[in-house]
Amino acid sequence: MAAGKGTRMKSALPKVLHKAAGRTMLGQVLHEVRAAGVNDCVVVVGHGAEQVQASLQEDPNCRFARQMPQLGTGHCVQQALPQIPAATEAVLILCGDTPLLRAQTIQQMLQLYAASQQTAQPLAGLLLTTLLDNPFGYGRIVRNSSGSVTAIVEEKDASEQQKQIREINAGAYIFNYAALQSALGRLNNHNAQGEYYLTDVISLLAADGLRLDTLPAADPLETSGVNDRVQLAAAAAELYRRKAEELMLAGVTIINPASCCIELDVKVAEDVTIYPNCQLRGQTTIGSGTVLDSDCLITDSQIGRDCTITKSVLNQAAVGDRANIGPFAYLRPGARLAEDVKVGDFAELKNAQIGRGSKIPHLSYIGDAEVGENVNIGCGTITCNYDGVNKHLTKIGSNVFVGSNSNLVAPVEVQDDAFIAAGSTITREVHAGALAVERSPQREIANWNREKSPQALAKSSASRAKALAESSDSRAQALAKSSASRTGAKKL
């Protein structure tokens, strides 16, 4: 069920597309469904249908049904029914806003339901429940004197006495197909919200004398539905906690797990060490032995083995083994480093391929570049890649030494073993093995006397003139101000 607007989110984005730990809530529910072995899903979309459908474009297990307008969860499932083959034995129904539900729990539900089908009294419905200290907002499970489930009552329809019930409906169900079909046909919207509630299927089936049962969730958190952003943050925190726990149990050292946010799709190998305040996002992978020193933000990047990355930002970058990055490096999309590369402080790389053993130790911008092996890029080097209209390539061969504070005006090529003198602005090809110097010759005037130099004299007379102008300026301003205040003008 993913058609609702999610009014309580107060958002232009459909609720089920809000993300927790890097996945949309709906994507996370479907991920667990697949992990539980269920491969044929009908996703009911309605509010923001195109957007929700587009988010699942690459999911071959999903078919879609439309619910327009959205008249409640019962109405939602009514729209899905035509998409489900009549020969189907049982239907698993889940909410798109319960991202903490685990595959194991879904499997447990499937097993319990399947086992009951072998008995004399097979289940017509099974629902996941839990006991909450604060059940506010959830449907309450109503039982008769013999303990059988007879109904679910929504918060807004519950009597004061029913509101005391701590057992809640998690919104996860398995129904016998025929029983579901028959009950859905009998729903009405005579309730506080004027909606067709799926939860009313329970009282209808109970009245039919069919067998219903509940599975208490092993972990009450799993049943949490996300209806507002406070609950979204709580769900995300739990998913991050689970991810960190899973990684630690798989051999990753995380110094302060609560301070790190490692998204669900990130892969981290054994013997990686992650210091506090690191955020790993998207499809990032980290090779074994790598140390992420504090404050790294790494998105959709592939990091090799035995690297050290300190206080740096990487986005769509690929980093070879044993690289040493940061502090304060910025690797942007298309930065591709071979093995043993160093990128130091305040170096920014974009669409740049850096060969094995090359070093960009400090204060550089290397964009749209191909750099060979064992190159030293001196402090302050800039590839001038943009002419205001187009981006151009800088090619640097292997074993090149680029002196500090050089500008490489692209398109330009520096061939193998070349040497660029510090402070040069290179605009033409530099040939293999050559030294390129581009500086105006240094002049020297002997016995320079600061006070008497023509420059100093010119400067002091200029500063005298400026001071004079400023003082007459401020006199003029003062005059204007006083006359303005006399005439009542508000602004000069």
CA dist 227 and 376 (Å) reads 54
- 135 binding Mg ion? (CB under 5 A): no
- 195 binding Mg ion? (CB under 5 A): no
The encoded tokens of residue 301 equal 């990047």
The encoded tokens of residue 110 equal 């499937």
The encoded tokens of residue 338 equal 């071979």
Identity of the residue, 155 or 438, whose beta carbon is nearer to Mg ion in the bound complex: 155
Give catalytic status of residue 362 as yes or no.
yes
Centroid of chain to Cα 226? 18
- Of 17, 20, 43, 71, the one binding ligand UD1 (CB under 6 A) is 71
CA proximity to 169, closest of 208, 133, 215, 210? 215
Given ligand UD1, Mg ion, none, residue 72, with its beta carbon under 5 to 8 Å by kind, binds ligand UD1
User: Other CB atoms closer than 10 Å to residue 305's CB: what's the count?
Assistant: 17
- Whether residue 139 contacts residue 153, with contact meaning beta carbons closer than 8 Å, is answered with yes
Given Mg ion, ligand UD1, none, residue 153, with its beta carbon under 5 to 8 Å by kind, binds none
- Of 24, 129, 130, 169, the one binding ligand UD1 (CB under 6 A) is 169
Identity of the residue, 14 or 320, whose beta carbon is nearer to ligand UD1 in the bound complex: 14
Identity of the residue, 97 or 340, whose beta carbon is nearer to Mg ion in the bound complex: 97
- Of 33, 90, 95, 235, the one binding ligand UD1 (CB under 6 A) is 95
Identity of the residue, 75 or 359, whose beta carbon is nearer to ligand UD1 in the bound complex: 75
- Of 55, 98, 358, 406, the one binding ligand UD1 (CB under 6 A) is 98
**Of these residues, 18, 31, 362, 431, which one is catalytic?**
362
- Residue 225, amino acid: G
CA proximity to 96, closest of 18, 234, 2? 2
Segment (H or E) for 79: helix 73-80
CA proximity to 148, closest of 207, 61, 200, 100? 207
Given ligand UD1, Mg ion, none, residue 1, with its beta carbon under 5 to 8 Å by kind, binds ligand UD1
Residues touching ligand UD1: how many (CB under 6 A)? 32
- 3 binding ligand UD1? (CB under 6 A): yes
Identity of the residue, 17 or 280, whose beta carbon is nearer to Mg ion in the bound complex: 17
Given ligand UD1, Mg ion, none, residue 98, with its beta carbon under 5 to 8 Å by kind, binds ligand UD1
How would you class 175 by CB atoms within 10 Å of its CB: exposed for 0-12, middle for 13-18, buried for 19 or more? buried
Q: Which residue is nearest to ligand UD1 (CB)?
A: 139
Angle between helix 73-80 and helix 177-184 axes, rounded to 10 deg: 120
Least spacing, CB of residue 158 vs ligand UD1, in Å: 10
- 152 binding ligand UD1? (CB under 6 A): yes
CA proximity to 324, closest of 304, 343, 347? 343
CA angle 382, 384, 385 (to 5 degrees): 125
Q: Quick one: which segment of 51-59, 166-174, 310-318, 454-462 binds ligand UD1 (CB under 6 A)?
A: 166-174
Least spacing, CB of residue 171 vs Mg ion, in Å: 7
- Whether residue 189 contacts residue 71, with contact meaning beta carbons closer than 8 Å, is answered with yes
Which x/- pattern, by CB under 6 A, does the window 233-252 give for ligand UD1? --------------------
Instruction: Restricting to residues 222-241, name those near Mg ion by CB under 5 A.
Output: 225, 227
| Omega cis (within 30) before 60 | no
- 97 binding Mg ion? (CB under 5 A): yes
CA dist 47 and 69 (Å) reads 8
- 203 binding ligand UD1? (CB under 6 A): no
Instruction: Restricting to residues 110-139, name those near ligand UD1 by CB under 6 A.
Output: 138-139
CA dist 326 and 317 (Å) reads 14
Given ligand UD1, Mg ion, none, residue 365, with its beta carbon under 5 to 8 Å by kind, binds none
CA dist 404 and 359 (Å) reads 13
160 contact partners, CB below 8 Å, separation of at least 6: none
Q: Which residues bind ligand UD1 (CB under 6 A)?
A: 1-4, 15-16, 44, 46, 67, 70-73, 75-76, 95-98, 138-139, 152, 154, 168-171, 197-199, 225, 227
Active site residues: 362
Q: Which residues bind Mg ion (CB under 5 A)?
A: 97, 225, 227
